[in-house]
Amino acid sequence: MSNIKILGVEGSPRKNGNTDILLDEFLKGAESAGAKTKKVHLRDYSIEFCIGCEACRKAGTCTRFHDGMNLLYSDIEASDGLILGSPTYNYNITASMKAFIDRLYPFYDFAEERPGPYSSKLADQSRKALVFTVCEQIKAEEMGFTLEALGMPLEALGYEVFDKFLATGCFSKGEVSKDEDILKKAFDAGKQMAMNLG
């Protein structure tokens, strides 16, 4: 189990907010099962949004921008598991998380000219992912597309999305820390993810 690596990436601009707290719990759970973890706050990185130049199709990496994303590609490749989290902003993920996901494009391989078939450099490696969101709304349907926006791109890259985790009714900074039930569920989900990877 000590060889299992899980990378946690969260896209909240709010330091020590609900998304941060939940990510910590997921990673603590994974560590309790023996996994090695690393945590990334996207607010600490300068990541340009993808401009669709498609130069990465030939280079295998993004050559247009030399920014924070170039620091993360190797961590993504080296990790068996990926945890992505974003608060819900206007029915969707935050801008920083959207930029991160779009800049995963270099992991795709294209055998033919567009719109031909494609494959992923990360596929067929038993990679697993957990995605989660925090929203102030009580009803899950009012959350919008956040979990789909986090999970579907990872599935296309070859990850098995192990869990889609939702914390509703959380708005004030750090409010989720008062909910022992949701914290335990997050811890248990992180532990289970690590055990499934082991």
How many whole angstroms separate alpha carbon 10 and alpha carbon 23?
Answer: 7
Q: Residue 29's pLDDT is what?
A: 98
Give Cα 91 to chain centroid, integer Å.
17
Q: Residue 169's pLDDT is what?
A: 85
Using one digit for the tens of pLDDT, what is the confidence trace for 100-148? 999 999 999 988 887 788 899 999 999 999 999 998 888 888 889 999 9
Q: Residue 73's pLDDT is what?
A: 97
Q: Which structural domain, as residue segments, surrounds residue 83?
A: 5-197
Using one digit for the tens of pLDDT, what is the confidence trace for 31-83? 999 999 999 999 999 999 999 999 998 888 999 999 999 999 999 999 999 99
Q: Residue 143's pLDDT is what?
A: 83
Q: What is the DSSP string of 150-189?
A: HHHHHHHTT-EEEEEEEE-S--STTGGGG-HHHHHHHHHH
Domains identified in the chain, total number: 1
Q: Residue 2: is its pLDDT beyond 70?
A: no
Return the CATH number at 63: 3.40.50.360
